[in-house]
Amino acid sequence: MKKNFLKIAGILSVGVITLNSCGDKTEPPLVYFPDMYFPVAYDPLMKAQDPYSDHENEIPAFASRNGQTGLDPVTGTVAQNKDGVLPSEAPKPNDAEDYNRLYDESKKITSSPLNPANKEKDLERGKKLFDHTCAACHGTGGDGKGPIVESGAYSGVPNYADREITVGSVHYVLENGRNNMGSYAGQLNAGDRWRVAMYVMNEFKKQAAAPAAAENKDAAAKDAPADNANTKK
């Protein structure tokens, strides 16, 4: 009798387990800690939404930044965007015609968004980044004669001194690439792209503009006597 009871109990247990395993999956059991199973991803530049209620998240630290959840890094940690310069919000080019149009518009930008008070430090870092990242093709002198070009493996890199560029157009190329040069947005953050662009303009275009400045100075000197004569009259 006892053996029959155990046999029946065993059969019933297996049946219950089988029925439960094949049950309706559209009604899962209660989850006590939903955030462990369904994590909520926050966009650090967007206003946070409380996932467990209908009201918006108004935590003071977020509210003071217009809802942004990205706060200052903890002391001693590495800041991901210490410059506070966000990537360009300009539309990305869809085709060659669009690229050229946006490139021409970028030439209208003649100053970087970085703090002018840090210009010397920015140029110093820009030089370091240029030498490490760009000089292999462009050359440390910006003449397009880097070691890769000199080796014969690559050609057609222009001399900065011969080009009509601005800090905005240099930054645009760093962000979007140009011709055979790919984008460096993955290698340089937003602030560092501006630093490299600043260094290119300061180091290489300054030399190209020097003769023109000298010519203007000579022209002004020639005009000086005439101006003096007119003043005496």
Phi first, then psi: give them for residue 68, nearest 5 degrees: -65, 135
pLDDT tens-place string over residues 140-153: 999 999 999 999 88
pLDDT reading at 179 higher than 70:
yes
Residues contacting 156, CB < 8 A, separation 6+: 179, 180
Residue percentage of the chain with pLDDT more than 70? 52
CA atoms within 13 A on the CB side of 145: 3
More confident residue, 159 or 206: 159
- What are the extents of the domains in the chain? 32-67, 96-212
Report the number of secondary-structure helices (H) and strands (E) in the chain.
Answer: 10, 0
Per-residue pLDDT of 34-68, as tens digits, reads 556 655 566 666 665 555 555 555 556 666 666 66
Q: How far is CA 111 from the centre of its chain?
A: 17
List CB contacts of 36: < 8 A, sequence separation 6 or more.
none
Size (the chain), residues: 233
Higher pLDDT, 18 or 184: 184
Q: How far is residue 108 from each of residues 86, 126, 144, 171, 206, measured CA to CA in Å?
A: 19, 21, 24, 12, 18
| Tokens 């006892």, residue located | 2
For 96-212, the fitting CATH number among 1.10.760.10, 2.60.40.10, 1.10.1040.10, 3.40.1390.30 is 1.10.760.10
Whole-angstrom Cα distance, residue 141 to residue 154?
A: 17
Convert the pLDDT of each residue in 100-151 to its tens digit.
999 999 999 999 999 899 999 999 999 999 999 999 999 999 999 999 999 9
Query: 193-217 pLDDT, tens per residue?
Result: 999 999 999 999 874 333 334 444 4
On average, the pLDDT of the chain sits at 74
Q: Residues 216-230: pLDDT tens digits? A: 444 445 445 444 444
Burial of 139 (0-12, 13-18, 19+ CB in 10 A): buried
Cβ atoms 169, 110 nearer than 8 A: no
